Amino acid sequence: MSAMQPPPWSRFSCMDPATQARHRLAGRQDAAAPVMYLLRLLALALAVVVASVGSVAGIAVWSLTNQVTDNAIDIGNGDAAPIPSIGALAGSFNMLMVGADNAPDQSGFGETRDATLNDVNILIHVSADHQNVTVVSLPRDLVISQPECTDPTSGEVYDAVDDEPLNGAYQRGGLGCVVATVSAVTGLEIPYAALFTFAGTVAMADAVGGVPICLTDAIQDTDSGLDLPAGTSVVSGATALAYLRDRHGIAGESDLSRISSQQAYMSSLFRVMTSAGTLSDPTKLYGLAEAAATSISLSESLASVDRMVAMALAIKDVSLQNMVFVQYPVLDDPDDAAKVIPDDVLAPVLAGKLASDTPVVLSADSLGQSVTLDPSAPAPAASTDPVAPDPAATDAAGDPVATAPPVDEGLSGMNASQTTCSIAAD
């Protein structure tokens, strides 16, 4: 709420007490919308999608909103243009979600390191027509050049570097340095960002009552702590985090394998959160709001209720088929078997499609080596989204005709309508 705006109850001051009470309740229900829409946007990385409902007390919602704005982070890109009125944000936009390893509150979630690392790096691109969302996971071990960065706390300036893993960007200048690095490697302007932690991931999983995940065979991995049978299990809390962090129990036993598991988890949680059972449950919705507000820090450019609502309204009608999770294209690093480098053919293709706002279309065999379609799951419903006319394709009269977009061969990933199983390592 802006400091210049009157409180939401002031317009009722001339009403009788009973009328005031009814309108205050309605006002509190309306106030729930910004936080619910905010969660729909932020949760793409955590796959928590929440729609607007009127069942959370207004005073609690405003408290959570204040927590979100109070924790805002300066990422060094200036103030974003003001939103003139509440409505869907016009045009395309990009946002970076960063998962921090070794955060100050990480106790109990892995070994302690000397520095905080950006182990999860997820770029979200929303198309200008608001019909497509592309979620790109960039490997933490991606070796690239990184720009000069300034630590926002100490003021220390870090020189630009070459051949450094992506997950070292955070310690060179916080969230802003990660944004600048991903922006440099993709060529995209990234005005919005958010930071989340292991503790936040656990809180989100607990808030929804668990997420279904599938394994082709049982996995017992002492490194991650994952211990699950073959088939589908509903995971939450520490078990959900163990699945997301597991590397040695999944086929390929690499960071790329872990990305496939994260995409499978995001797809599953997305479907859970768009189900009627979640959207109609005020306890789950408030639990998600509280988990997000206390464990996600936003860039200053994003930490505005008006802006968050405008961005969330832009994506509220995106179909499951049009929400695509893509792995940033990489090749093995010839100098280090444990690292990867950008694929000099496919990486520019992906960056070009995002820059030109062209939907990414994955092939039927794009899932990669560590996940497979769940044979027991029902086939996803066919998309009802209209196919846009292709100006280059015309009928006998010379009029444009609708044609399906070409498949992007070589890219790896899945869409949110696909139910998959992680393939256990041999």
Q: What is the pLDDT of residues 129-170, one digit of tens each?
A: 988 989 999 999 999 999 999 988 888 999 999 999 999 999
* Residue 196 pLDDT: 80
Angle between helix axes 282-295 and 58-70 (nearest 10 degrees) is 20
Give domain status of residue 405, yes or no. Answer: no
Q: Name the more confident of 324 and 296.
A: 324
Owner of token pair 């189900």? 275
Dig out the tokens for 79 from the structure: 């103030």
The rounded distance, in Å, linking the Cα atoms of 131 and 322 is: 7
Closest of 325, 342, 324 to residue 333, by C-alpha: 342
Q: Is 357 left (phi over 0), alpha (psi -120 to 50) or beta?
A: left
Domain membership flag for residue 407: no
Comparing C-alpha atoms, which of 98, 249, 67 is closest to residue 178?
98
User: 141 phi and psi, to 5 degrees?
Assistant: -95, 20
Task: Tell me the average pLDDT across 199-213.
Answer: 79
Domain that holds residue 170: 20-385+412-422
Give pLDDT, residue 393.
Answer: 61
Average pLDDT on 245-270 reads 88
Question: Is the pLDDT at 391 greater than 60, yes or no?
Answer: no
Count other C-beta atoms under 10 Å from residue 89's C-beta: 19
Q: Is residue 12 part of a domain?
A: no
For residue 347, is pLDDT > 90?
yes
Average pLDDT over residues 254-272: 86
φ/ψ (deg, to 5) at 284:
-65, -40
Most confident of 40-49, 158-167, 275-284: 158-167
pLDDT at position 1: 37
Is 152 inside a domain boundary? yes
**Residue 340: Cβ within 10 Å count:** 24
Give me the pLDDT at residue 231, please. 96
- Which range among 51-60, 99-108, 110-119, 124-133 shows the weakest confidence by mean pLDDT? 51-60
Cβ contact 174:151 at 8 Å: yes
Give the least confident one: 40-44, 270-274, 372-376: 40-44
Beta strands at 161-165 and 400-402: parallel, antiparallel or unpaired: unpaired
**pLDDT beyond 70 at 115:** yes
Span between the terminal Cα atoms of the chain, in Å: 55
Rounded to 5°, the CA angle 102-196-198 comes to 50
pLDDT of residue 208: 75
Q: Which of 56-60, 161-165, 267-271 has the lowest mean pLDDT?
A: 56-60
Q: Residues 28-66, buried b or exposed e (16+ Cβ, 10 A)?
A: bbebbbbbbbbbbbbbbbbbbbbbbbeebebebbbebbe
Q: List the single range of 33-47, 102-116, 240-254 with lowest mean pLDDT.
A: 33-47
391 in a domain, yes or no?
no
pLDDT surpassing 70 at residue 249: yes
User: Which range, 90-104, 286-300, 371-385, is most confident?
Assistant: 90-104
- Would 255 be classed as within a structural domain? yes
Give the chain's largest Cα–Cα span.
76
Q: Is residue 360 part of a domain?
A: yes
Q: Which of 35-39, 307-311, 333-337, 361-365 has the highest mean pLDDT?
A: 333-337
pLDDT at 7: 34
Cβ-defined contacts of 257-261 (< 8 Å, 24+): 257/369, 257/370, 259/137, 259/139, 259/327, 260/327, 260/367, 260/368, 260/369, 260/370, 260/371, 260/412, 260/422, 261/213, 261/370, 261/371, 261/422
Q: What is the CATH number of the domain that holds 37?
A: 3.40.630.190
Cα–Cα distance between 178 and 77 in angstroms, integer?
12
Domains of the chain: total: 1
Residue 75 has what pLDDT? 81
Please report whether residue 15 resides in a domain. Answer: no
pLDDT at site 384: 52
* Amino acid 340: pLDDT: 96
Length of the chain equals 426
pLDDT at position 38, please?
43
